[in-house]
Amino acid sequence: MRMGFSLPSAAREPRHIPPRGTCDRTPRGYKVLAMSEQEHTTHGYSADKEALLKRLRRIEGQVRGVSRMVDEDNYCIDVLTQISAVNAALHKVSLALVQDHIGHCVVDAAARSAETGDATIVADKVEETAVAIGRLLR
Amino acid sequence: MRMGFSLPSAAREPRHIPPRGTCDRTPRGYKVLAMSEQEHTTHGYSADKEALLKRLRRIEGQVRGVSRMVDEDNYCIDVLTQISAVNAALHKVSLALVQDHIGHCVVDAAARSAETGDATIVADKVEETAVAIGRLLR
Amino acid sequence: MRMGFSLPSAAREPRHIPPRGTCDRTPRGYKVLAMSEQEHTTHGYSADKEALLKRLRRIEGQVRGVSRMVDEDNYCIDVLTQISAVNAALHKVSLALVQDHIGHCVVDAAARSAETGDATIVADKVEETAVAIGRLLR
Amino acid sequence: MRMGFSLPSAAREPRHIPPRGTCDRTPRGYKVLAMSEQEHTTHGYSADKEALLKRLRRIEGQVRGVSRMVDEDNYCIDVLTQISAVNAALHKVSLALVQDHIGHCVVDAAARSAETGDATIVADKVEETAVAIGRLLR
């Protein structure tokens, strides 16, 4: 799976303060900047937002299907098979988000670290990413 | 987690053909029997059906919450955290189904094997269960 | 994967105290009995013991291979690929153990519950099994 | 878990061709460079190599312990519990490798993309990383 990817503008224009889009937990403030730049920058998973939302709606429907199976007393093994399908679909969504996060937010943080000489910016981002992946592995 | 458990009637009354409820993929035929016996028999997960349905509805809501987070451009790591919560909730449902399946359908098949002397009845059930668990492990 | 399976003798000879082999955490006492009965009874995973040991030795070698890769500074992604192979091999071993456990220990407990009328024997076994599966799912 | 992290030299000295250490599948050639630079550069997981090797040796010992348990006919549930411990230990090693890989190889690729203007360098690295994480999720 190859997702749309473009180098954050900071990497191409080293003096520029990078817009962070969904790469920051407290997005207030940057939104205006992001807005004015949205023609030439891709933020986080936003490029694939529609695809992600479509997949999530399908997963929601699959969960509803599991409920219906339980309600209609379907055979337990068949219900479990359907739950495995939901797990697999969720894993795909997680993986797409992880890939987008690394490709945008981590790469963007690396550029900011390079610009500012502050290695903790990218180190913190990488650690946060590893913690999130660790939660998925469980 | 301890789920309601009662020995299938077949185990207590060895000559009786056991009703199989949701323990069989082709439920045709036994339904009439099951119906007439439903006062005194517990079939598969049906005892905990309401609890299961409640959990599944909550999971459906959690998935809808993930969609909303993506739609509102929440931070990717926060979306991943929420997906991990959905995974955990689905695992609990799977486990409850597996436990009920073993406690009812496998135990019931063991009783039928004991009655009929046909060991393949329970062996097939056990293998089918292992295959389903294997899909969950992935 | 279909593993050797035979109905525990208790299921066929209801008055007999069933040998429990590896189905019990406190094996003291039953060993003598098990010994005298070993010609006609299969205990837990013992029938497939050699196959299991062979797989485990191979996994041990795979882990040693991962150490060697790290020691020789192999590319991280290649090391991760090898670790995924170890995970998959361990999952197969777990699944074989779970299948044997259900097919022998749970089925044996069901027979003892049927004999004694004490449903808690099998209920406890089933719950313990579910807890072990839950640990594997994580 | 916070692992040692330092910005690749390329990020600090933009004109310099970055040494790639274990960040490349075909390490031939760069080795000489890496060697001459090893005083001031950290490559991939090499900083934590000793810690990784120690963990892997412990895992190898745990797998040997599982073999011994099977050989001595330990209770299946206890064997499964020990296998779950091996799984958890392997997950920790995987996660440490993933974190190091992102923090060194992906960040280094981002710097090379910034230098060269070739966005595919980091995009390829990110995709490769996501594929490896996907294998761990299964």
Tell me what pLDDT residue A92 has. Answer: 95
Phi, psi of A126 (to 5 degrees): -65, -40
Residue D4, phi-psi category: left (phi > 0), alpha (psi -120 to 50), beta (remainder)? beta
Q: Tell me how many domains chain B contains.
A: 1
Chain D interface disruption, residue of C3, C23, C48, C76, most D CBs within 10 A: C76
* Chain A residues touching B135 at Cβ < 8 A: 80-81, 84
**What confidence score (pLDDT) does residue D36 get?**
32
pLDDT tens digits along C52-106:
999 999 999 999 999 999 999 999 999 999 999 999 999 999 999 999 999 999 9
pLDDT for the residue A14: 39
The yes-or-no verdict on residue B9 having pLDDT over 50 is: no
- The whole domain housing C61 covers 49-138
Residues of A in contact with D130 (CB under 8 A): 1, 95, 98-99, 102
Q: Å from D69 to nearest chain A CA? A: 25
Q: What is the pTM of this model?
A: 0.77
Tell me, rounded to whole angstroms, the distance of Cα D3 from its chain centroid. 11
The answer to ipTM > 0.85 is no
Here the tokens at position B43 are: 């079939």
Q: Is residue C12 part of a domain?
A: no
**Domain presence at residue A44:** no
- Give the burial class of B21: count Cβ atoms within 10 A of its Cβ; 0-12 exposed, 13-18 middle, 19 or more buried: buried
**Residue A13, in any domain of the structure:** no
Flag whether A9 is in a domain: no
Name residues whose C-beta falls within 8 Å of residue B29's C-beta, 6 or more positions apart in sequence.
none
The closest of B93, C39, D14 to A69, measured between CA atoms, is: B93
Q: What is the pLDDT of residue C138?
A: 77
Spatial CA neighbour of C136 closest among D85, D66, D55:
D85
Distance (Å, whole) CA A46 – CA C50? 53
Report the residue from A7, A107, A137 with minimal CB separation from D137.
Answer: A137
Q: C57 to chain D: which residues are within 8 Å by CB?
A: 67
Helix axes A76-100, D120-137, angle to 10 degrees: 160
Let me know if residue B54 belongs to a domain. yes
Q: Is residue D8 part of a domain?
A: no
Q: For chain A, which ranges sit under pLDDT 70?
A: 1-22, 24-47
pLDDT at B41: 39
- The domain that holds B72 is classified in CATH as 1.20.58.1000
pLDDT at B25: 64
Cβ of C95 within 8 Å of Cβ of B123? The answer is no
Q: Model confidence at C4, in pLDDT bands (50, 70, 90)?
A: very low
Q: Is residue D32 part of a domain?
A: no
A70, A76, A100: residue with CB nearest B53: A70
Say what the pLDDT of residue D44 is: 61
Tell me the C-alpha distance between B58 and A118, whole Å.
Answer: 43
Q: Do D126 and A103 touch (CB under 8 A)?
A: yes
Per-residue pLDDT tens listing for chain D (138 residues): 333 344 444 344 333 333 334 676 644 323 223 333 333 334 466 668 999 999 999 999 999 999 999 999 999 999 999 999 999 999 999 999 999 999 999 999 999 999 999 999 999 999 999 999 999 987
In a domain, D114, yes or no: yes
Which pair of structure tokens corresponds to residue B93? 């449902």
Considering chain B, what percentage of its residues have pLDDT values greater than 70?
67
In whole numbers, what is the pLDDT of chain B averaged over residues? 78
CA C32, C36, C39, C41 torsion-angle sign:
negative
- The more confidently predicted of residues B14 and A49 is A49
Which of A103, A127, A133 is nearest residue D123 as measured by Cβ atoms? A103
Say which residues have a Cβ less than 8 Å from residue A50's Cβ, sequence separation at least 6: none
SS3 of residue C14 by DSSP: coil
Residue A84 distance to chain B (closest CA, Å) = 6
Q: Which residue of D has its CA nearest to C128?
A: D77
Cβ–Cβ gap D103/A114 under 8 Å: no
